[in-house]
Structure 1
Amino acid sequence: MSDGQRADARRNYARILAVAEEEVANHGSGASLEQIARTANVGSATVRRHFPTRRALLEAVSAKRIAVLCARAVELTGGEDSRKALLTWLDEVVTYCVTARGLAAALSYDETDPTHENSCSAAIEEAGDPLLRQAVRDGAVAPEVTVAELITLIVGIVLATEHHPDPAAQADRLFRLAVAGLSPRT
């Protein structure tokens, strides 16, 4: 590949990614790859060469958002109230997933390719692990809980509420219910 072709491929990638970010924001994880190709003024094969699967496209679109969530986990780690820090971060993950259409899908398990390493989930789990471990050490969270389970819970809530008239409020309510449990307050 010549330098000109590499530069062209880089420009195509950047253009496809920019268009994909807008399409995913408007249409969620079901954004049309063909529409992305048309809007980016490239062929469908070019889109597929850069993003061989829808999951790869969603992960690329979500990478910046994931980086922000990971940085936020680092900021919150080591605070005095480890449960509050963990819940603050998880609240922010819920909010991001509700507002950033496609992010929940990028974090979800891919049953079509169980061997695929989900870079978004791996990054989130690694970032949230210190928060969770501290909360477990402090006795604020049960020791058997994993970040993967918490993210799965969030993904399920977000996907179940995405068509609700007020998805953010409903997702927040369901997450609070999951955290509090079914027992009445004493």
Structure 2
Amino acid sequence: MSVSAALPQPRPRVLADVIPGAIARDLALIAGGAGFIGVLAQLAVHMPGTPVPITGQTLGVLLVGTAYGARRAAAAIALYAVAGVLGVPWFAGHSSGYVNASFGYVIGFLAAGTMCGFLAGRKADRSVRRSIPVMLAGQALIYGAGMAWLAAVAHLTAGQTISQGLLPFLLGDVIKAALAAGLTPIAWALVDWRY
């Protein structure tokens, strides 16, 4: 038996740490996380009165953030954003580029995913009770960047920004936050790590 095998192995900090092979794992997770967010972006519903669609992207960002940890989540979301700006059509509705009213939400994804990953690394994703505030804080970061960009690009007043960039999405985003807050503790239970 080797000395390293006899030493206690560190517990994973986030779900992605359960997967062996650090460098290959990280590269695959980063590409997979970007793709996962891109796929969920295609679940889009365009609503009257707002240029911003309801999508599954935010659910993907919250899950990637908490499952990957801050560093990998930031890399995956940055890859998603940069590839989309460079022409990969995986923003909502198979769009790409940054000159649209909803790109600010993509910018917010980076802050939200990184923050969720940071908090997950401190075990904030191990129970539903602790995950809910993390997910709601992530949503708030997405809204902050998204609404600021929307107001600037579309030349909206504060009231118009709230009615077009916040109110139509609140119910759906609360549901997505609750779903993400429930899924991460379930995933921890499935990998059978004591928390």
TM-score between both structures, scaled by the size of structure 2: 0.42
Return the structure number with greater relative CO, CA threshold 8 A, min gap 6.
2
TM-score between both structures, scaled by the size of structure 1: 0.43
